[in-house]
């Protein structure tokens, strides 16, 4: 088990520079397992460590894995240009940990978004080589037809792609809505595929990544939660 001094623990958890973290302890603002912490030099085992800062309880997390129900009109960028950044929906401690979105959703696309400070996790989820399926529900301008579904399954040619892009699966939900599953994460992919197939996307929601479903997380728009190990296991494709 790892042992760290208290100032390093606080810094690693996003409470600021080490000098500030030391001051928090000196000022009596930190408790460990409910008991006042008096010396920032004291070492603690980090596994299962619970501590409180300003009376708010935290669990030590070596890395964080977050699911967020992205609302409309937020940008998945650390330097947003036209809308608020998605990171503004997170507490400052997570922003100071350099948590980043895993991939991007357009500003007007809503639904399941992952964030983490684990570079290997971000790469595994973002890389097209891993073929993590992403499920979207798209509202369309014109009615959904069997021909539209068949075209998306067969593949459509986008002007900047060397080969046609096809949906992993696609099904009609109602007259103006369909569910489409993709294994890539191309720029505006769902919208561009629908346009290439002769329709137009009027609203888009990402409802699942892998086998992790947004509905099962029970998150209101703008709300977030930590993902545990079992939930993270749902983010890989099911074995055949």
Q: Which residues are catalytic?
A: 106
Q: Which of 201, 179, 31 is nearest to 108 (CA)?
A: 201
List beta partners, residue 212: 209
Q: Which of 145, 140, 138 is nearest to 207 (CA)?
A: 138
Residue 86: both structure tokens together: 């998605």
One DSSP character per residue, 146-190 reads HHHHHHHHH-B--TT-SS-B--SEEEEEETTEEEEEES---TTHH
Q: Are 115 and 90 in contact (CB under 8 A)?
A: yes
List beta partners, residue 69: 112
Enumerate helices (H) and strands (E) in the chain, giving the number of each: 8, 15
Q: Are 14 and 53 in contact (CB under 8 A)?
A: no
Rg of the chain over all Cα atoms, to the nearest angstrom: 22
Torsion sign, CA atoms 118, 124, 128, 133: negative
């Amino acid at each position: 088990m790892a042992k760290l001094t208290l100032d390093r623990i606080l810094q690693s958890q996003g409470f600021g520079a080490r000098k500030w973290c030391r001051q928090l302890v000196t000022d009596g603002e930190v408790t460990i397992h409910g008991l006042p912490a008096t010396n920032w030099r004291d070492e603690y085992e980090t596994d299962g460590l619970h501590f409180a800062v300003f009376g708010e309880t935290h669990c030590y997390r070596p890395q964080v894995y977050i699911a967020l129900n992205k609302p409309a009109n937020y940008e998945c960028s650390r330097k947003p240009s036209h809308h608020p950044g998605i990171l503004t929906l997170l507490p400052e401690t997570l922003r100071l940990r350099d948590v980043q979105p895993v991939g991007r959703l357009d500003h007007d696309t809503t639904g399941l978004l992952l964030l983490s400070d684990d570079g290997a996790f971000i790469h595994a989820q973002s890389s097209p080589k891993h073929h993590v399926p992403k499920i979207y529900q798209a509202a369309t301008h014109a009615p959904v037809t069997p021909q539209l579904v068949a075209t998306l399954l067969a593949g459509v040619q986008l002007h900047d792609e060397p080969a046609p892009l096809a949906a992993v699966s696609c099904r009609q939900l109602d007259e103006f809505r369909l569910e489409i599953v993709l294994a890539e994460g191309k720029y505006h992919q769902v919208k561009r595929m629908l346009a290439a197939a002769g329709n137009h996307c009027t609203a888009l929601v990402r409802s699942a990544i892998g086998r992790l479903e947004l509905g099962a997380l029970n998150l209101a728009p703008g709300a977030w939660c930590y993902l545990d190990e079992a939930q993270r296991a749902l983010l890989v494709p099911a074995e055949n």
